[in-house]
Structure 1
Amino acid sequence: MRRLITCVGECLIDFMPLAEGQHSLGYGVDFRMYAGGSIFNVAVALARLEQPTAFACKVADDYFGQYLRTYMQREQIDTRFLVEAPGTRTTLAFVAEQDGHPTFSFYGEGAADALLMANEIPEALYTETRILHFGSISLLRGSTPQAVLHILERLRGKALLSFDPNLRPNLVQDEQAYRELLRRAFSLADIVKCSDADMEWIYPGLGNEEALAELLRQGPALVVITRGGHGVLAARIGGPVVRVPVFPVEIADTVGAGDSFCAGLLARLSELGIDERGRLESLTPEQLSQVLCFASGVSALNCTRPGANPPQRAEVEAFLRKA
């Protein structure tokens, strides 16, 4: 029975700066630990939106790995697809802010979430997943990128495949190989969500609408571009461009905003029964606009508190009623 929305990718520890811990040079020196990682954030947000959610990853048995597993269980995320990696360590990321945007420093060479192998993936993932979400830094390191591609190839045509590249260009070591991997992922995915910054790196010199059209030609049935305060652009194959504005909120920070958006997008599509490519291709502009509005509401609420802290379902519904 295919019922799960499965997220496959990185789970790590984010260290967020505390505003009160400032060095005389103006740099933050005190940090607080949070469970994190783009794909992990999407899983948490989906669970809080009351979707049956599973997470697939290789997890260390160190202190941080044990914390991550416990955190998932507390959030009611299905952990059956986790693979334990004794003797390894967990990826750590330090988050700071420069010029109003979050910056990330990753420490993850040889970390567990980069070491997933295709033959370690439980068979139940393939039989129980109806929507799969992947992307971000899990496609940059170790054996995990090839394991993810293996999953995509097995699930193509059997589950809806959602991809958020969530690019970190400073972590790319072989740009040509990475661009080739992105092209492969675009050709396999049914849904691609990118930020405008992602699009600028993928298609330098193209405007957002040109880039959207070009990406649709690569294979996805639906492409969504988030543009921060400038709203969202989206189009399905053969359909018009749909534009949705952002919700005005007081912003605490934007960490996890795109991840919360992805979760809102997938949750609303799931609730509409759109869990296969044919139904996605038949999505009307009105339905697409409603889906994007829901996703934008989830993202907006995440931005009202520090760190990646997606809202509960009841919060989203109350927020949208007042909007």
Structure 2
Amino acid sequence: MGGSILCLGEAVIDFIPVRAEGGAAYRPCLGGSPYNVARALGRLDVPTEYGCAVSTDLFGDQFVEGLTQSRVGQRFLRRLDAPSTLGFVSLEQAEPAYAFFDQGAADRICRDMPSGSALAGVGTLHFGSIALIREPAASAYETLFLREARGPRLISFDPNIRASHVRDEAAYRARLERLLHNADIIKISGADLDWLLPGHAHAEAARNWLGHGAKLVVITHGKAGVSGWTQDSYAHAEALSVEVVDTVGAGDSFMAGLLAGLHEGGCLTRETLISLSPQILHEALAYGQCVASQTCTRRGADSPWREEISALQAPPITFPDHRA
């Protein structure tokens, strides 16, 4: 099934540390994992929608403006008279660490999910991150996820785990297991996988999820590149060397690049995902790496536009076996 990609989940104002006269300071940037994926997809000319609730406050206005500028559809977006979620970022570790302030926030209290009929024209639903931790929205997203799983639309899932935000670890782990066993496309970082399944080889985890019905599993390894598996194919793409400003949003940009590459080649169906060749899989992974690497050269989750990627002579997205 073709159609647009609907990204569902939180929108967060990321306060990024910057140097300032007189000491440390923070710069507010638009963020939130599903929001980042939606904006990155829109900038790559993929038909994209964003679904959640954002505040009626000044930050909510900025979220809407960011979607509009990135050509992201908003028919599933709601505005609520509630505050925006704020996230303060630490860049002292290998991966960014976050402190969230979200009590009563618009994206956290959102429980209204689209009906099946409302999803007409949507081909892929993308879920992930703290939207699946914070109640009551988390349960509403899980219900939608499981309702649509194995139906006509693909389910894409990046857990993007924020362990410090988890209060009931046993319940959260059980939820992740349910979702991972019902997703079509799974993308997960090596760090998240090690938290979720400590001591498990990454290839073993990928084979397990493929055995439960996933069609594509992708594991990112930071500077060590990214690996992808289907039932019959495996590919690895190296990380690209760039001058890194910060890595905020890099994983989300990779996710968008991967989906954009698959969409460009007409591969966002279960049938085509199953039959991806190693070469086609490598092209999609490499394209995702190119998008992510350019995000790392900018402050915050500021992903590149398609024209910028083309100017870099990024790996061609040809997918000759799957074009109409």
TM (normalized to structure 2)?
Answer: 0.92
1:165 pairs, out of 159, 162, 172, with: 159
- Whole-angstrom CA distance in 2 between matches of 1:57 and 1:282: 33
Residues 1:174 and 2:168 aligned together: yes
Residues 1:4 and 2:4 aligned together: yes
Residues 1:113 and 2:107 aligned together: yes
- Whole-angstrom CA distance in 2 between matches of 1:283 and 1:253: 33
Where 1:105 maps in the other structure, the secondary structure is: strand
Residue ranges of structure 1 left out of the alignment (5+ in a row): none
Deviation digits for residues 98-148 of structure 1 (CA, Å, limit 9, x no counterpart): 134322110002211112224x53666421211111100000011222222
C-alpha displacement of 1:239: 1.7
- Whole-angstrom CA distance in 1 between matches of 2:110 and 2:118: 14
Residues 1:284 and 2:284 aligned together: no
Where 1:320 maps in the other structure, the secondary structure is: coil
Query: What amino acid sits opposite 2:70 in the alignment?
Result: E
- Alpha-carbon contact 1:110-1:142 (below 8 Å) kept: no
- Whole-angstrom CA distance in 2 between matches of 1:44 and 1:267: 12
- Alpha-carbon contact 2:184-2:213 (below 8 Å) kept: yes
Residues 1:39 and 2:31 aligned together: no
1:205 pairs, out of 185, 199, 206, with: 199
- Alpha-carbon contact 1:186-1:219 (below 8 Å) kept: no
- Whole-angstrom CA distance in 1 between matches of 2:35 and 2:13: 10
Q: Comparing 121-130 with 184-193, which one deviates more in the overlay?
A: 121-130
TM (normalized to structure 1)?
Answer: 0.92
Query: What amino acid sits opposite 2:35 in the alignment?
Result: F
Distance 1:122 1:80, change over 3 A: farther
- Alpha-carbon contact 1:297-1:320 (below 8 Å) kept: no
- Whole-angstrom CA distance in 2 between matches of 1:125 and 1:38: 23
- Alpha-carbon contact 1:60-1:85 (below 8 Å) kept: yes
Query: What amino acid sits opposite 1:82 in the alignment?
Result: L
Tell me the equivalent position of 2:90.
Answer: 96
1:1-323 matches, cutoff 5 A: 3-21=3-21, 23=23, 28=24, 30-86=25-81, 88-118=82-112, 120-121=113-114, 125-156=118-149, 157-236=151-230, 238-321=231-314
C-alpha displacement of 1:211: 2.5
Residue ranges of structure 2 left out of the alignment (5+ in a row): 317-324
Q: Comparing 94-103 with 222-231, which one deviates more in the overlay?
A: 94-103
C-alpha displacement of 1:151: 2.4
- Whole-angstrom CA distance in 2 between matches of 1:89 and 1:123: 29
- Whole-angstrom CA distance in 1 between matches of 2:276 and 2:165: 36
| Corresponding pairs, count | 315
